[in-house]
Structure 1
Amino acid sequence: MDEVLKIINDIKAGNIKPIYFLMGEEPYYIDRITEYLENNILSEAEKDFNQIVVYGVDTTVEDIVANAKRYPMMAERQVVIVKEAQNLVKTIDKLESYAENPQPTTVLVIAYKYKSLDKRKTVYKTIHKHGLVYESKKMYENQVGQWISRVLQGRGYSIEPKANAMLVAFLGNDLSRIANELTKLEIILPKGSTITPNHIEENIGFSKDFNIFEFRKAIGDKNQLKAYQIAEYFAQNQKENPMVLINGQVFSFFSGLLLYHGLKDKSPSNVAKVLRVSPYFVNDYIGAAKIYPMRKVSSVIATLRDIDVKSKGVGANALPPSDMLKEMLVKIFN
């Protein structure tokens, strides 16, 4: 995020590179930088003749270079934007000769999403030397909560820890999807508001009481009544709560619990780091470790692997999800 702000601040200051090669597994920041360049390098009047947007699936590197070598019309520079450039993966090396001597009056923006160039290749080194290469890496889930708080703070909002944890639990590290949901909340809530679990439930559709996050906590606390209530809710709402996802989340929790048992340093900060979870969830592991010793955790993991196979239709004779959930809880709690 700090690197993105630096790129944007440099552009605002007039320090504009001839090539922006934006790559990596996380598309969110690639899209944001591309969008900023698309909207802010040229004036609206200049864009008609000097801004070209093409898509990797519909163009070639040769065509991109030909466009980049053009001179601007009645403007200081032109902008050539290549979206979905990952479709040019087999021919992207051909960009090397242009990158060696880029047109100074052209800003070439290449959005190369979900992939990264091999940094050992000459084309990468050449672009890095004469332009700017930004790599957008996927965040770990334990980093996303902090990202949500920072984004909201920058927009004049705050969020309660449980609401933050709910977003991470349901949306994972998909920053684009999280950003879309936050935008919905900002439309509804006045600036200065604190986002609560109720706001998440009412406006995004995640139940604050009957969700996988509360299900895992109920299991971790060995709160059998609540766990069975949530399981019943899941069984009645299978479309929103597929068995494969439920089992995967519970498996992830017990796998983390197994790691926790093996830690020498059980400080909250180290637990969050090693387990790659939000600090909000650390107490769940600390509490569950007192209830489930390592041998029991290993047994539960074996059970969950068996249920995973059944949930995928292997040797289960079309066992309904409600029965698999009951089987899961019976074997965990016994």
Structure 2
Amino acid sequence: MDEVTKIVNDIKQGNIKPIYFLMGEEPYYIDRLTEYIENNILTEEEKGFNQMVLYGKDVTVEDVISNAKRYPMMADRQVVIVKEAQELARTIDKFESYAENPQPTTVLVIAYKYKTLDKRKKVTKLMDKHGLVFESKKLYENQVGDWIKRVLSGKGYGIEPKAAAMLVEFLGTDLSKINNELEKLAIILPQGSMITPHHIEENIGISKDYNVFELRKAIGERDQLKAYKIAAYFAQNPKDNPLVMTVGLVFGFFTQLLQYHGLKDKNPSNAAKMLKVNPYFLKDYDIALRNYPMRKVSGIVATLRDIDVKSKGVGAAALSNDDLLKEMLVKIFN
């Protein structure tokens, strides 16, 4: 994220704000910025007296302000970090007085995860005026593959599109979880490696042949034998392949296919943009487009809604995951 890079570069150049209010639904960047400030503003010798880490559930806003108003000892500045600051949500407005006139020798970091402050609030405006307010937004699923590619590129690695897709389908959009797995791969594989589906399967435990990505591909190609094999594997490994998630991802595939049918401009660049998919995977949608007419796709979407309800235990108490997966495939292929 460009904004994160700019904040880090500003700190490196000595342009340090007295307040960093880090908020948002995506905790990954909040944690990374907090960690960077914690590790890089003060020297190791200065940290003993001048760096304090507080936790929102253990302190009040008044406690934080009291610590922030202290003067540094034998250093130019002190750092006060408030982690899990969302625990102070009910009294966050009490920061107004401090934000209006922050201590210039203090760097106050407020890590306010999973929530955001209304930018029209006085406290938010004051923090942004005299410090910095950063919002870490959740990435959409179709953006995570590019994020993985950028992170790995920065570490000196490449990744094949299918391998990135496997990570997204298995780990979702949780950047912290994905980054943990990428760091494991960086330890195992030599720098300069191109990460493949085989590496993902061998080191992370995601099957390169039995995953939702391959199931959707088999369905799109009307490869019934392969689809039923994958479904049987899912039924035998329900913890790694939750039925609700499987149905949801297949539903998403056919919803995109319905949208693809309706596109007037099917130029690859426009289609990939409208469907929010990596252009590399557009060929799978082209094959499915030929195999499933628009009317058939509409019927499948309705069927998958019904299967989704059953997968959540409504009206299907006697049906196993295996039975529901088979029912899904029978209705798709018929």
TM-score (norm 1): 0.98
CA distance in structure 2 between the aligned counterparts of 1:271 and 1:172, rounded to whole angstroms: 23
CA distance in structure 2 between the aligned counterparts of 1:237 and 1:121, rounded to whole angstroms: 49
Instruction: Give 3-state SS (helix, strand or coil) of 2:57's partner.
Output: helix
CA distance in structure 1 between the aligned counterparts of 2:188 and 2:333, rounded to whole angstroms: 42
Instruction: Give 3-state SS (helix, strand or coil) of 1:58's partner.
Output: coil
**Identity value in percent:** 75
User: Who is 1:155 aligned against?
Assistant: 155
* 1:243–1:311 contact (8 Å) kept in structure 2: yes
Shift of 1:219: 0.5
Q: Deviations over 1:194-251 (max 9, x none)?
A: 1111000000011000101000110011111110111111111112111111111111
User: Who is 1:251 aligned against?
Assistant: 251
* 1:141–1:277 contact (8 Å) kept in structure 2: no
How many pairs are equivalent? 334
User: Who is 1:278 aligned against?
Assistant: 278
Shift of 1:258: 1.3
User: Who is 2:72 aligned against?
Assistant: 72
CA distance in structure 2 between the aligned counterparts of 1:138 and 1:242, rounded to whole angstroms: 23
Aligned CA-pair RMSD: 1.1
Shift of 1:263: 1.6
Q: Deviations over 1:289-317 (max 9, x none)?
A: 11111211111111111111111111113
CA distance in structure 2 between the aligned counterparts of 1:232 and 1:292, rounded to whole angstroms: 23
Shift of 1:89: 1.1
User: Who is 2:321 aligned against?
Assistant: 321
Instruction: Give 3-state SS (helix, strand or coil) of 1:208's partner.
Output: coil
Q: Give ranges in structure 2 of 5+ residues lacking alignment.
A: none
User: Who is 1:16 aligned against?
Assistant: 16
Shift of 1:264: 1.9
- AA aligned opposite 1:309: V
User: Who is 2:206 aligned against?
Assistant: 206
Q: Deviations over 1:149-191 (max 9, x none)?
A: 1111111111112112211222222111110000000110111
TM-score (norm 2): 0.98
Work out whether 1:222 is the aligned partner of 2:222: yes
What aligned pairs does 1:1-334 form with structure 2 within 5 A after superposition? 1-334=1-334
- AA aligned opposite 2:307: I
CA distance in structure 2 between the aligned counterparts of 1:88 and 1:273, rounded to whole angstroms: 40
CA distance in structure 1 between the aligned counterparts of 2:138 and 2:84, rounded to whole angstroms: 18
CA distance in structure 2 between the aligned counterparts of 1:322 and 1:190, rounded to whole angstroms: 41
Shift of 1:2: 1.3
Q: CA 1:46 to 1:158, structure 2 compared with 1: closer, same or farther past 3 Å?
A: same
Instruction: Give 3-state SS (helix, strand or coil) of 1:79's partner.
Output: strand
* 1:56–1:88 contact (8 Å) kept in structure 2: yes
CA distance in structure 1 between the aligned counterparts of 2:230 and 2:214, rounded to whole angstroms: 8
Instruction: Give 3-state SS (helix, strand or coil) of 2:79's partner.
Output: strand
Q: Give ranges in structure 1 of 5+ residues lacking alignment.
A: none
Instruction: Give 3-state SS (helix, strand or coil) of 1:72's partner.
Output: coil
Instruction: Give 3-state SS (helix, strand or coil) of 1:90's partner.
Output: helix
